[in-house]
Amino acid sequence: MIVVRQKKLEDIQAEIAPYKRVLLVGCNTCAAVALAGGENETSRMASTLRLRNAREGGDKEYSFTVLQRQCEPEFLEELDHSEADVILSLGCGAGVALLSEIIAKPIMPALDTLFIGAARGYGSWRAECSACGNCVLDQTGGVCPVTRCAKGIMNGPCGGVDNGKCEVDPNQECAWVTIYDRMEDLGRSEDAEKIIEPRDFSRRITCRAWGLPEGGSK
Amino acid sequence: MGVTQHGRGAESLLGELLAPCRAACPVHVDVPRYVQALAEGRFSDALGIVIERNPLPAVCGRVCLRPCEDGCRRCQLDEPLAIAQLKRAASDHGVYPTLEAAPKRLERVAVVGAGPAGLTAAYDLARLGYGVTLFESKPEAGGMLRYGIPAYRLPAEAIAEDVRFIAAQGVDIVCGKTLGVDLDLEQLRADYDAVVVAAGLQASRPLPIPGNDLPEIATALPYLATCRDGQPPALGERVIVIGGGNVAIDVARSARRAGAREVTMVCLESRDEMPASAHEIHDAEEEGVKFVPARGMKAVVGTDHVEGLETVRCVSVFDADRRFAPTYDESDRQVIEGDAVIFAVGQGADVASLGLETTPRGLLVVDPATLATPTEGVYAAGDVTCGPTKVIDAIAAGHRVAASIHATLTGDDRLLEMLDEDFEKLGPIPEAVAVRLETRRRVQCERLEVYEAVETFDEVEEGYTKYEAAREAQRCLACTTGAQLDRDKCASCLTCSRVCPYGVPVFQPGGYPYFNADACRACGACAAECPAGAIRLGGWNEDEVAEKVAAGLRRPEKDKTIGFVCGYTHDLPSLLGKDAEIITVSCLLRISDRIVLGAFESGAKKVVFSGCTEESCRFPHAMPLVAERVCRVRALLEEAGMADDFVVSGESEDADDANGTADSADDSVGTKPVKEGAR
């Protein structure tokens, strides 16, 4: 899933400063699961903005709604924004982008989109994928060096490894140590020794859009 | 069931799933809801909830045989909740509701007999807008409650309280009028659109044995009535009571109070077969009543005066088909010495002269579904139709007859149909959850000491104090008030399963959680944390909380402080001034970020969170989760520039200084220590 995080209220206020009627739009898919943009969090942000507005004697009006998924045009059709001067999106970057494309009004992000990640328990996620378009997880025991290695190196570990920890963040496991351990557990230590080819950055750059080939399947 | 102040016009009076206590109650009083209100110290709310189904709370709180308690799921852990005593606490400490009058109807109904069935029927009919006259042959309303049950179990004032409430709904109570003597049934049929005969069982006869006409012979009902009037006859030092039911126990205990030094109860049944309730037998024994079970009565011994009772051993009372067919061992004879004999061997109806169709037992013939007699416009309810039953069964019959009359007079039979509505009952607590639940013994009611009790007809049980009632209510497992999923909103985020310590939400194919109602403890953590707002709690509505907040903020005498207080808190913290609006909840876990922020949006100047202590907290996960929520809300308020307006008790030194203000709250549960322990 896409992991997102709410921006600071001050930054959000700056985004919407010129507008009076603000419609907050939540997203009931990744943003809800990331505990940042579901109905609960959207209503909470609307309340906080109203309280701040009241305190500052502002004249802003806040309302909110939640869409099932902001990154689907069909779901956006149900959005009634007639009373809004600006839309504050509590979706990921894709949601903000699609809203902006379809609705001819300013669309402002209330969230920062962080990464593609997996849940580690209640309210906790870890980045697992950088969407590089050039997946090597078959060679790394399912641990992504692009994402989990601070330097993103394709053959590690680097000289900065210290007791299995990363020199950039001593709380962080070294991705490459994890890769070797995992491959060993899988009985694939020999494969782990093999040199991985440099990343083909062109694949990422060209992959701006993708669809199933005509006919719906390969 | 019957007519409720909220339920009128509703299509269903019950939810789909009932807590076992509620399912077992013949009128399905919403026990979990009123017990929850008591646990939070909201006595008037609790009383209102009881009255939705039962207009005799003070009476039933004392004398109900409490089938609900047998269903209580606490039986799996320790002992059932003291539901009847809690009902009494609601009536002792709560204020009877002022109900909005129903639009008046033109039809008039006469109800004959102001016992529990008649009172309930009259109440329901008045609530439906009918003009109701309730006739009673005795000088005061109450029927067997007033003249059959002794005052030490049910004081006149308790009956009067309920009767006053019923009369306040527009029931015209006319005492001293006996059907067949002062009232003519045909005249009533002519004057009213319907007539309900709820005359009860007034006849009480001795057994047909030699010596039953001696001077020191009495029968149960007249004897109990004279005790109620304060003038029991002097029967002698040694009294023999014949019978093994609850009425016989009432007679025996009354005889002790009336001065008998020695009271012996003799009955056909063996000790295990005696129909009297176990706790009644226990109480009677404590007061010195002797039991001689499994004896058949042969004769009252004596020439001019009673000298004793001749008995033989009763081998069996019932035959193989459970029919009454006693067999005796005539060789085992015994004379029990005594100066008087009181027969408490069943009651009969006294309605033969009314001209209505009767059964071979002399009871009135009715259609069990509608309680209509074969005589048009005449209905009957209560013991007069079915023989001796429980008070709560008579109340159920009162509801039924009212609904039936309403159906006949208006053609609208929804109320009547609702009485037979199907429901499902909550199952037992799964073992995996049961092992994680704390055991807690019942809070014992103060009682008169036995030596004091037998000296007077004063009420034996003193009833719970507010504090005791709240403590007892807090043992409730809150059955059926747990999590319910709105699948349309669920984002399958798994947050519910991550915050639930009991492992209740189980994810199913399709990605939706399933909440097993048998296992859910209704703490509220999942509902407040669900990012999609997809979880509701039974009987809990955030909009209602918001309304309470708004109402509190409108009160001019209040200082715009909203205190969300765990109902399990022993004392209110001093940081809640006496002008704060206090909203008690079963756990602070239920107070979501939305509610707190909403309170500020509604104009609250200060919001206070006051939780319970580690020792009183029932939920192992509540404290850390609430602490996390407090941090989050603080951070949000910080951004809004008002973090200082959100206060949590126990966080600072002076917050611990908790006392003094408790008494100022309307329904304070006080600070008195409580006696707990085994019966």
- Contact of B94 with B53, CB cutoff 8 Å: no
pLDDT for residue A203 is more than 80: no
Residues linked to residue B131 through DSSP beta bridges, in sequence order: B108
Measure the CA–CA gap between B552 and B562, rounded to whole angstroms. 8
- Contact of B130 with B107, CB cutoff 8 Å: yes
Closest residue on chain A to B529 (Cα): A40
- Contact of B250 with B275, CB cutoff 8 Å: no
pLDDT tier at B552, thresholds 50, 70, 90: very high
Contact state of A51 with B642 under an 8 Å Cβ cutoff: yes
pLDDT tier at B571, thresholds 50, 70, 90: low
* Predicted local confidence at residue B573, as pLDDT: 62
What are the tens digits of pLDDT across the range B665-675? 344 444 333 33
- The DSSP symbol for B557 reads T
Closest residue on chain B to A39 (Cα): B532
Helix (H) or strand (E) holding B626: helix B622-640
**Among A3, A27, A48, A53, which would you mutate to test the B interface (most chain B Cβ atoms within 10 Å of its Cβ)?**
A48
Contact state of B593 with A55 under an 8 Å Cβ cutoff: no
- Contact of A42 with A64, CB cutoff 8 Å: yes
Who's near B593: CB < 8 A, 6+ residues apart? Answer: A40, A44, B528, B629, B632, B633, B636
Considering the domain architecture, whether residues A158 and A111 belong to the same structural domain is answered as no
Taking CB atoms and an 8 Å cut-off, how many pairs form between chains A and B?
78
Asked whether residue A12 is assigned to any structural domain, the reply reads yes
* Predicted local confidence at residue B617, as pLDDT: 83
Lowest mean pLDDT segment, chosen from B407-411, B566-570, B620-624, B672-676:
B672-676
| HEC per residue, B95-108 | CCCCCCCCCCCCCE
Instruction: Measure B619 CA to nearest chain A CA, in Å.
Output: 18
Asked whether residue A164 is assigned to any structural domain, the reply reads yes
Neighbour count for residue B63 (Cβ, 10 Å): 25
Instruction: Measure A201 CA to nearest chain B CA, in Å.
Output: 34
Contact state of B598 with A47 under an 8 Å Cβ cutoff: yes
Closest residue on chain A to B534 (Cα): A39
Q: CA quadruple B640, B641, B642, B644: dihedral positive or negative? A: positive
Alpha-carbon torsion, ordered A204, A208, A212, A214, to 10 deg: -120
In three-state secondary structure terms, A133 is: coil
Query: In chain B, which residues have their Cβ closer than 8 Å to the Cβ of A39?
Result: 489, 531-533
Query: In chain A, which residues have their Cβ closer than 8 Å to the Cβ of B600?
Result: 47, 51
What number does CATH give the domain B16-98+430-480? Answer: 1.10.1060
Contact state of B493 with A50 under an 8 Å Cβ cutoff: no
Instruction: Measure B598 CA to nearest chain A CA, in Å.
Output: 7
Contact state of A32 with B640 under an 8 Å Cβ cutoff: no
A28 closest CB neighbour out of B491, B529, B600: B491
pLDDT for residue B173 is more than 80: yes
Burial-class residue B488 by CB neighbours within 10 Å (0-12, 13-18, 19+). exposed
Considering the domain architecture, whether residues A56 and A137 belong to the same structural domain is answered as no
Q: CA quadruple B161, B165, B167, B173: dihedral positive or negative? A: negative
Who's near A112: CB < 8 A, 6+ residues apart? Answer: A4, A5, A6, A7
What are the tens digits of pLDDT across the range B35-56? 999 988 889 999 999 999 999 9
Mean pLDDT of A5-27: 96
Asked whether residue A213 is assigned to any structural domain, the reply reads no
In three-state secondary structure terms, B53 is: coil
Asked whether residue A100 is assigned to any structural domain, the reply reads yes
Measure the CA–CA gap between B129 and B170, rounded to whole angstroms. 9
Contact state of B593 with A44 under an 8 Å Cβ cutoff: yes
Write the DSSP string, B459-517: -SB----HHHHHHHHTT---TT-SEEE-TTT-----HHHHH-TT--EEE-TTS-EEE-T
Helix (H) or strand (E) holding B186: helix B185-191
B491 closest CB neighbour out of A33, A56, A121: A33
Asked whether residue A217 is assigned to any structural domain, the reply reads no
pLDDT for residue B4 is more than 80: no
Query: In chain B, which residues have their Cβ closer than 8 Å to the Cβ of A33?
Result: 491-494, 531
pLDDT for residue B196 is more than 70: yes
Closest residue on chain A to B496 (Cα): A122
pLDDT for residue B651 is more than 80: no
Who's near A168: CB < 8 A, 6+ residues apart? Answer: A150, A151, A160
Instruction: Measure B615 CA to nearest chain A CA, in Å.
Output: 26
Contact state of B491 with A32 under an 8 Å Cβ cutoff: yes
pLDDT for residue A173 is more than 90: yes
Considering the domain architecture, whether residues A111 and A21 belong to the same structural domain is answered as yes
Strands B171-175 and B131-136: parallel
Query: In chain B, which residues have their Cβ closer than 8 Å to the Cβ of A28?
Result: 489, 491, 532
- Contact of B404 with B371, CB cutoff 8 Å: yes
Contact state of B601 with A47 under an 8 Å Cβ cutoff: yes
pLDDT tier at B566, thresholds 50, 70, 90: confident
- Contact of B132 with B111, CB cutoff 8 Å: yes
* Predicted local confidence at residue B663, as pLDDT: 35
Considering the domain architecture, whether residues A145 and A65 belong to the same structural domain is answered as no
Peptide bond into B374 cis (omega under 30): no
Q: CA quadruple B212, B218, B219, B220: dihedral positive or negative? A: negative
* Predicted local confidence at residue B572, as pLDDT: 62
Query: In chain B, which residues have their Cβ closer than 8 Å to the Cβ of A50?
Result: 601
Average pLDDT, chain B: 89
**Among B592, B594, B595, which would you mutate to test the A interface (most chain A Cβ atoms within 10 Å of its Cβ)?**
B594
Contact state of A52 with B531 under an 8 Å Cβ cutoff: no
Residues linked to residue B179 through DSSP beta bridges, in sequence order: B183
Strands B340-343 and B217-219: parallel
Q: How many domains does chain A have?
A: 2
Which domain-ending residue is among A89, A115, A141?
A115
Asked whether residue A125 is assigned to any structural domain, the reply reads no
Mean pLDDT of B285-292: 96
Residues linked to residue A6 through DSSP beta bridges, in sequence order: A111
Domain that holds residue A153: 130-206
**Among A1, A5, A44, A68, which would you mutate to test the B interface (most chain B Cβ atoms within 10 Å of its Cβ)?**
A44
Contact state of B531 with A38 under an 8 Å Cβ cutoff: yes
* The token pair that represents B675 in the structure block: 């006696």
Considering the domain architecture, whether residues A60 and A142 belong to the same structural domain is answered as no
* Predicted local confidence at residue B675, as pLDDT: 39
* Predicted local confidence at residue A204, as pLDDT: 66
Closest residue on chain B to A43 (Cα): B594
Neighbour count for residue B538 (Cβ, 10 Å): 19
Mark out the alpha helices in B67-155 (DSSP H runs). 67-71, 83-93, 116-127, 144-147
Instruction: Give the closest residue to B119 by CA, choosing from B398, B393, B419, B402.
Output: B398
In three-state secondary structure terms, B569 is: coil
Contact state of A48 with B499 under an 8 Å Cβ cutoff: no
* Predicted local confidence at residue A186, as pLDDT: 96
What are the tens digits of pLDDT across the range B224-257? 999 998 888 888 899 999 999 999 999 999 999 9
List Cα–Cα distances, B589 to A72, B93, B523, B617, in angstroms: 35, 28, 7, 11
Domains B101-201+350-428 and B204-348 share a fold: yes
Lowest mean pLDDT segment, chosen from A120-134, B515-529, B607-621:
B607-621
Closest residue on chain A to B492 (Cα): A33
Query: In chain A, which residues have their Cβ closer than 8 Å to the Cβ of B501?
Result: none
Chain B residues within 8 Å of chain A (Cβ atoms): 489, 491-495, 498-499, 529-533, 592-594, 597-598, 600-601, 636-637, 639-642
Write the DSSP string, B15-40: -SEE-HHHHHSTT---HHHHHHHHHT
Measure the CA–CA gap between B598 and B587, rounded to whole angstroms. 18
Considering the domain architecture, whether residues A152 and A86 belong to the same structural domain is answered as no
ipTM of the complex as predicted: 0.85
B532 closest CB neighbour out of A28, A49, A54: A28
Contact state of A51 with B598 under an 8 Å Cβ cutoff: no
Instruction: Give the closest residue to B642 by CA, choosing from A51, A61, A62.
Output: A51
Measure the CA–CA gap between B488 and B77, rounded to whole angstroms. 37
**Terminal C-alpha separation, chain A:** 25
Contact state of A35 with B531 under an 8 Å Cβ cutoff: yes
Considering the domain architecture, whether residues A138 and A84 belong to the same structural domain is answered as no
What are the tens digits of pLDDT across the range B338-390? 999 999 998 899 898 899 999 999 999 999 999 999 999 999 999 999 999 99
Measure the CA–CA gap between B410 and B404, rounded to whole angstroms. 10
Asked whether residue A81 is assigned to any structural domain, the reply reads yes
* Predicted local confidence at residue B322, as pLDDT: 86
B489 closest CB neighbour out of A8, A39, A56: A39
Query: In chain B, which residues have their Cβ closer than 8 Å to the Cβ of A66?
Result: 532
The three-point CA angle B309-B313-B316 to 5° equals 130
Considering the domain architecture, whether residues A90 and A177 belong to the same structural domain is answered as no
Burial-class residue B383 by CB neighbours within 10 Å (0-12, 13-18, 19+). buried
Contact state of A28 with B639 under an 8 Å Cβ cutoff: no
Query: In chain B, which residues have their Cβ closer than 8 Å to the Cβ of A54?
Result: 601
pLDDT tier at A209, thresholds 50, 70, 90: low
- R_g of chain A computed on alpha carbons: 21
B641 closest CB neighbour out of A50, A52, A119: A52
Instruction: Measure A56 CA to nearest chain B CA, in Å.
Output: 9
What are the tens digits of pLDDT across the range B80-90? 999 999 999 99
What is the assigned CATH class of domain B204-348?
Answer: alpha beta
pLDDT for residue B144 is more than 50: yes
What are the tens digits of pLDDT across the range A39-60? 999 999 999 999 999 999 999 9
pLDDT for residue B676 is more than 50: no
Measure the CA–CA gap between B341 and B214, rounded to whole angstroms. 9
A38 closest CB neighbour out of B532, B598, B637: B532
Mean pLDDT of B395-419: 96
What number does CATH give the domain B101-201+350-428? Answer: 3.50.50.60
Neighbour count for residue B651 (Cβ, 10 Å): 13
* Predicted local confidence at residue A145, as pLDDT: 95
Who's near B368: CB < 8 A, 6+ residues apart? Answer: none
Which domain-ending residue is among A115, A144, A163?
A115
* Predicted local confidence at residue A206, as pLDDT: 56
Strands B535-537 and B203-204: unpaired
Instruction: Give the closest residue to B583 by CA, choosing from B596, B601, B598, B566.
Output: B566
B531 closest CB neighbour out of A41, A56, A119: A41
- Contact of A101 with A87, CB cutoff 8 Å: no
Query: In chain A, which residues have their Cβ closer than 8 Å to the Cβ of B642?
Result: 51, 55
Contact state of A44 with B639 under an 8 Å Cβ cutoff: no
What are the tens digits of pLDDT across the range B582-632? 888 889 999 999 999 999 999 999 999 988 887 778 887 899 999 999 999
Strands B483-485 and B535-537: antiparallel
Strands B108-112 and B483-485: unpaired
Chain A residues within 8 Å of chain B (Cβ atoms): 8-10, 28-29, 32-33, 35, 38-41, 43-44, 47-52, 54-56, 66, 119, 121-122
Residue ranges of domains in chain B: 16-98+430-480, 101-201+350-428, 204-348, 541-679
- R_g of chain B computed on alpha carbons: 28
- The DSSP symbol for B441 reads P
Considering the domain architecture, whether residues A107 and A10 belong to the same structural domain is answered as yes
* Amino acid code (one letter) for B127: R
Which domain-ending residue is among A115, A145, A164?
A115
* Amino acid code (one letter) for B629: R
| HEC per residue, A23-81 | EEEEECCHHHHCCCCCHHHHHHHHHHHHHHHHHHCCCCEEEEEEECCCCCHHHHCCCCC
- Predicted TM-score (pTM) of the model is 0.81
Contact state of A40 with B593 under an 8 Å Cβ cutoff: yes
In three-state secondary structure terms, B310 is: strand
**Among A1, A3, A28, A56, which would you mutate to test the B interface (most chain B Cβ atoms within 10 Å of its Cβ)?**
A28
Instruction: Give the closest residue to B636 by CA, choosing from B679, B665, B671, B593.
Output: B593
Measure the CA–CA gap between B498 and B624, rounded to whole angstroms. 13
Contact state of B533 with A39 under an 8 Å Cβ cutoff: yes
